[in-house]
């Protein structure tokens, strides 16, 4: 599905470390299309919804504190198989296990500061996109190289 979408978020440590440009560049270079982008400091409410599946984990409260500690850059990327391909580009949850060449494998060393979020399934992505974006803020734009330029 060429219209598949996923939610990618650069976490507060990624923003603090000035990794925003390099991360966006990887997704553009791979061939995905940016359809939504915003910067915000997340509330506990939105984060508890976002991470509702993890609420019984021992690291849950420190995860929410970290995720709300500074600005996030939240994005929606679109393209063929984007959910699975971006999980591969992001790398394993624990940076110690993440391959070199992945975002986490190249930029992080500890699971509690792993730089980036990516949705883990198509259904999960749809829920997360609805949680973080209003549909009017997602742009369904045409690539010029796929559009006739003759008037």
Q: Is 114 annotated as a binding residue?
A: yes
Residue closer to Mg ion, measured from CB, 106 or 120? 120
Q: What is the DSSP string of 17-59?
A: TT-HHHHHHHHHHHT-EEEEEEEEPPPHHHHHHHTGGGTTSTT
Shortest distance, CB of residue 83 to Mg ion, whole angstroms? Answer: 12
Establish whether 110 is a catalytic residue: no
Shortest distance, CB of residue 86 to ligand DAT, whole angstroms? Answer: 11
Q: Which of 22, 120, 124, 131 binds ligand DAT (CB under 6 A)?
A: 120
Return the residues of window 51-70 that contact ligand DAT according to CB under 6 A. Answer: 54, 59, 63
Question: How far, in Å, CA of 21 to CA of 66, rounded?
Answer: 21
Question: How far, in Å, CA of 76 to CA of 96, rounded?
Answer: 27
Q: Taking CB under 6 A as the rule, does residue 48 contact ligand DAT?
A: no
Identify whether the C-beta of residue 115 lies closer than 8 Å to the C-beta of residue 13. Answer: yes
Q: State the binding site for ATP.
A: 11, 59, 87, 93, 104, 114
């Amino acid at each position: 599905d060429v219209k598949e979408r996923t939610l990618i978020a650069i976490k507060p440590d990624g923003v603090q470390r000035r990794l925003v440009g390099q991360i966006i560049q990887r997704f553009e270079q791979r061939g995905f299309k940016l359809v939504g982008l915003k910067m915000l400091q997340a509330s506990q409410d939105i984060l508890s919804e976002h991470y509702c599946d993890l609420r019984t984990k021992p690291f849950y409260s420190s995860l929410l504190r970290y995720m709300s500690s500074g600005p996030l850059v939240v994005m929606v990327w679109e393209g063929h198989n984007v959910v699975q391909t971006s999980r591969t580009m992001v790398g394993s949850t624990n940076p110690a296990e993440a391959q070199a060449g992945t975002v986490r494998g190249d930029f992080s060393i500890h699971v509690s500061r792993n730089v980036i979020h990516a949705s883990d399934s198509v259904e999960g992505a749809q829920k997360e996109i609805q949680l973080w974006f209003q549909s009017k803020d997602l742009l369904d734009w045409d690539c010029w190289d796929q559009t006739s330029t003759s008037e």
